[in-house]
Chain A
Amino acid sequence: MSLLHWAILSPFIMALFVPFFYKYFRKIHTGWFVLILPIILFTYFFQFISETMNGRNIYETVPWIPSIGINFSAYLDGLGLLFALLITGIGALVILYSIYYLSKEKEALHNFYIYLLMFMGAMLGVVLSDNVLVLYTFWELTSLSSFLLIGYWYQREKSRYGAQKSMLITVFGGLAMLAGFILLSIMTNTFSIREMISQVATLPEHTLFIPAMLLVLLGAFTKSAQFPFHIWLPDAMEAPTPVSAYLHSATMVKAGIYLVARFSPIFAGSFEWFWIVSSVGIITLFWGSFTAVKQTDLKSILAFSTISQLGMIMSLLGLGSAALHYDHLDKNIYMAATVAAVFHLINHATFKGSLFMVVGIVDHETGTRDIRKLGGLMGVMPITFTLAVIGTFAMAGIPPFNGFLSKEMFFTGVVNAAKLGIFNMETWGLLFPIIAWIASVFTFIYSMILVFKTFTGNYQPEKLDVKPHEAPIGMLIPPIILASLVIIFGPFANILSQSIIEPAMASIQPSLLGENGTYHVHLYYWHGWNIEIFMTMGVIALGTIMFITLLKWSKIYDVFPKRLTLNKLYDGGLVALERSSYKLNKFYMTGFIRDYLVMIFAFMIVVLLSSLFIKDAFAFTTTNSAPIGIYEVVLALVMVAATVAILFAKSRLTSIISLGVVGYSVSLFFVLFRAPDLALTQLIVETVSVALFLLCFYHLPELKLKPKPLSFRLPNLVISLGVGTVVTLLALSANGTKLFDSISSYFVEASYKEAGGKNMVNVILVDFRGFDTLFEIAVLCIAALGIFTMIRLRLTRGKEG
């Protein structure tokens, strides 16, 4: 175990101690103890920047289940480090924020911090694992801890609903991803991602390549809330705001992005990858920003905004994969899209985290998040307002914040994509810049709604439950830090380019490294008068007009029928699933034993008959058959007559007597076929059982004592004839194909020589196979005891009385 492993596991270890802190230091907010860990981890990971900048990656492995190749291998490269820094950095800020957000008197803090630490450890494990199965383990742990965090206020119905929804969707994707990983490991014969990447040259020809890619993408899309799996994210907003800020904007929803980036070296060369990733991303981008405008709850706006921004990053990763087809060019313009993806990933984490915290402050100080009740808070909460302006303007892509730069780079990416000469992009490529531009307009609109509807306009104190005031300074520090990063990463973006983005690019597109094994990324804040700047100006102009005239055109949202929304589809689907499985169970679990017997026998007929004919197993020969004598024929006729008499008898007594006839004829058969022991036993046993039947008959209740013949049912006839035919066919074929001689000659020789007996049947019963007899008499004892207890111990006798 190296230090890196301990760093991944440390949140889990810390989580073990949280209940003790909570119990024994009640005076101090538990969060303060927890806060120490992410700060240490952040500084620990920060020192690796100089390593990865120089292209040195850290690989440490510890055997976990070495017999099947599962090792806990930690791999720290540019991409992993970027995510690890995001997780620990924003984790520290969120914990600081939560100390002021959650009351130490009213809340179950130990639960909260245990879940949060679990999540942090799991997330670190996801981004730093090299073994796919370990990655999957941590992946499911993030789903689980996210489920617990969403349902933190489990008394509320909506929290439970949201938690369940996110659990179902992300676990569905997680299982699909597991299947994808297994397919990958079948193709490459390894669980290590690095070794998979080293075999990438031969993979695309493999038949499992496309299924594996689709399954892995399914996992990534569900986790990253891509269309149409985005529906869980708005419902996850029932979680406490620090959770929303941490999980549902900065870290967990980016796990899917991480997965796509991590597996880019394997899949990105293919046509399907380019199309699926970029088009799903761009659809999500548009749908998220379009839907965000109509929301009235601040956190819902942010949720849809997160969906839309994640779609943007996803589509950039897809578009960037086109670069792999142009490696002969010196200046590969398509690489810019991947750079933009990584850059926007960082930017989004900063401004979205700060926005969630701002919304949490507004919620905390006013008691509501509904924009129809809010307004005019600018004078009351000036710092919060400033922070909100910085965050939303960055989100809308307005200079001088970092969002402007990443939006410009995004436009560069989509405009370049329209010029692509491959993958049929000549025809469809133009759609990319158009959709991206429209989506940006909507992004601008909801960003403006977010800040201006909350902080400007009429101040309506009568609609608020509490009197609003500025938040405590501790609550403001985390968003202030994030907002200052938003500003710094704008004009001074190049401090990221060498330290973070270049190593991350080296992980995403390792085949495109330059001469000295590194990328050269340079971010220009001002890039001259080109098409992107005009597009941004158009976004701002049209967005402003549309924001002002919002009330006039917002009716278009009502045009779309409410019944056809994805949420309705999900809810209806769940109900339909439950109902149909209930109906299915109700259909075949009737509670009638005759129905079950019909199923069992029908199944038996189908399986045996079909295997008999598919295997061509029916064989009928008379070579093994003995000659048939007159006694056998007569006896068989008697038996058939008695059997038929049972079926058509009017009274039960006739049936019982006929059954006795069958039994005695069987014992006569035993006599004919020279089995005296069997004949003796059969005679007595038949007598006893007929007597018992008569006893049952005598005690039948008098209510329904109307003797009537067996009623006729066609299915029963068909099935009984079928069973009879099948068994006869089987017996005939078994008799027709005797593959080897019987072992009975041994018993004939040995019964006197070795066991000293001349009655071979008895010698077999007590000597050669005495073990069977021992347990047969045990069965008899059990039966006797059963009858004894059933009759003697009737505990309900008095009650029924």
Chain B
Amino acid sequence: MKTNDLILQTVTKIIIFLILAFSLHLFFAGHYTPGGGFIGGLMTAAALVLLLLAFDAKTVNKIFPIDFIQVAAIGLLIAVLTGIGSFFFDVPFLTQTFGYFDLPILGKTGLATAVLFDIGVYLVVIGVTMTIIQTIGEDE
């Protein structure tokens, strides 16, 4: 008997955007309210896991044709590069700074270099979680 996952798949299609949006919110709000790269990354990964549960691994691979090991590696690279970047300003490794800018749409916004570092964390967490789950899932 072929199982019919229609409800699950439909709900997933809607809810995944909510989860992704929430995870992005968690990520970007991290500097001011609870959240940040780690929890944001986990939440994004959770969205992808939900996709994996509702559809099979092949479909997910078609939608996101990404090698998640590379995602983790890129994340690590970004984190290291933000640290090295501080050398150009003649300050110690991983020194962060911030400033307030008037952006066209958003108005006055605080931008911190720490967010760049957090992007690294975010990507590593997604990459690591997805690598582990995919590897175990595809194992026989």
Chain A interface residues toward B at CB < 8 A: 676-677, 680-681, 684-685, 688, 692, 695, 755-759, 761-763, 765-767, 770-771, 773-774, 777-778, 780-781, 783-785, 787-788, 791-792
Contact = CB atoms under 8 A, between A and B. Distances in A.
Interface stretch (B9-17, B54-62, B115-123): B115-123
A766 B33 contact: no
Contacts of A766: 36-37, 96, 114, 117-118, 121
Contacts of B80: 774
Contacts of B73: 781
A755 B75 CA distance: 22
Contacts of B43: 684
Contacts of B38: 681, 765
Nearest to A783: B128
Given A688-B129, A757-B114, A777 B124 contact: yes
Contact of A774 (B39, B83, B112): B83
B132 A759 contact: no
A759 B35 contact: yes
Contacts of B42: 681, 684-685
A767 B114 CA distance: 6
A692 B125 CA distance: 17
Interface of A is mostly: helix
B57 to A, nearest CB: 14
B39 A681 contact: yes
Contact of A777 (B46, B79, B114, B131): B79
Given A766-B121, A771-B93, A780-B72, 12 more contacts: A677-B34, A684-B43, A685-B42, A755-B96, A758-B33, A762-B31, A762-B36, A763-B31, A765-B36, A777-B125, A784-B132, A791-B136
A166 B15 CA distance: 84
Contacts of A770: 83, 94, 96, 114, 117
B76 interface: yes
B33 A755 contact: no
Given A756-B110, A766-B118, A787-B131, A771 B94 contact: yes
* Size category of the binding interface on chain B: 35 or more
A692 to B, nearest CB: 8
B121 to A, nearest CB: 6
Contacts of A765: 36, 38
Given A680-B39, A766-B121, A781 B46 contact: no
Q: Which of A762, A766, A778 has the most CB of B within 10 A?
A: A766
A791 B137 CA distance: 10
A758 B132 contact: no
A787 B136 CA distance: 8
Interface string B16-41: 00000000001000111111111100
Contacts of A761: 34, 36
Contacts of A780: 72, 124-125, 128
Nearest to A680: B39
16 contacts: A680-B34, A681-B39, A684-B46, A688-B129, A756-B112, A758-B32, A761-B36, A766-B37, A766-B114, A771-B93, A777-B120, A777-B124, A781-B73, A785-B69, A787-B132, A791-B135
B64 interface: no
Contacts of B139: 791
A759 B94 contact: no
A777 B132 CA distance: 14
Contact of B121 (A777, A785, A791): A777
